[in-house]
Amino acid sequence: MKHVSYRLEYLNRYCDLNNPNEVARFVSNMKCSNAYKDTFVKSYHCYVQVNGLKWDKPIYKWQRQIPKIPISEAINKVISRASKKYSIRFKILMETSVMPYELSQVSIKDIDLEKGILNVRGFKGHASRSFKLKSETVAMLKSYLQKYTSDKPFPNSEWIGKMWRKFRNSLSEKLKEPSLRTIRLYDLKH
């Protein structure tokens, strides 16, 4: 409701809320995306219904933008900047495209170091699956598991995300490359 009241207050500054045509005209002339215009239309529609007004509700079609896929080189820069403890975690996420939560749920019994297999239980509609890891990743994982011996050796997904942002932002500042700050943890799924 907070967003609805904010948008209604905004509209009220520039047009008469009791004049639906004026509001529709104002929204159509806004310099913003159709998706954003649609949020104003929906908010105003609540006002129209509560106040018994009549209007031809405009329809703003919007398209989901194609996500920017960061180049592997940029992702690898961040991974190499990370500590050993986190570089293996990020490398596994990149190789397998699993969600950070799925990685956090992996237990020791889900890892077969002899065959280089990582078994992951699905989450949010994903199927459970097995991944053959690269030999370099298996070697890093063996070293990692010697130090982290608990049943679930990977931290929770929030912590993985927090550390990704820390290493990414630190590298961005060091290299003076602001574009690195746009690489999200979920972009490792390439």
Task: Give per-residue pLDDT as tens, 114-138.
Answer: 999 999 998 887 889 999 999 999 9
Q: Which domain holds residue 32?
A: 2-50
User: What is the crossing angle of helices 20-29 and 2-14, to 10°?
Assistant: 100
- At 142 the pLDDT is 95
Q: Are 9 and 87 contained in the same domain?
A: no
**Strand stretches in the chain, DSSP E:** 111-112, 117-120, 129-132
Domain at 94, CATH number: 1.10.443.10
- At 68 the pLDDT is 62
- At 69 the pLDDT is 59
Find the length of the chain: 190
User: Do the domain assignments include residue 55?
Assistant: no
- At 67 the pLDDT is 62
Token digits of residue 122 = 């699905």
**Stretches in the chain below the pLDDT threshold 50:** 190
pLDDT in tens, 39-49: 999 999 999 99
Q: Are 129 and 160 contained in the same domain?
A: yes
User: Do the domain assignments include residue 66?
Assistant: no
Q: Are 80 and 6 contained in the same domain?
A: no
- At 45 the pLDDT is 95
- At 189 the pLDDT is 63
H-type helices in 51-156, by residue range?
A: 72-81, 84-96, 100-104, 135-147
Q: Are 20 and 76 contained in the same domain?
A: no
pTM over 0.85: no
CA 21 to chain centre: 38
- At 66 the pLDDT is 67
User: Do the domain assignments include residue 63?
Assistant: no
Per the structure, how many domains does the chain have?
2
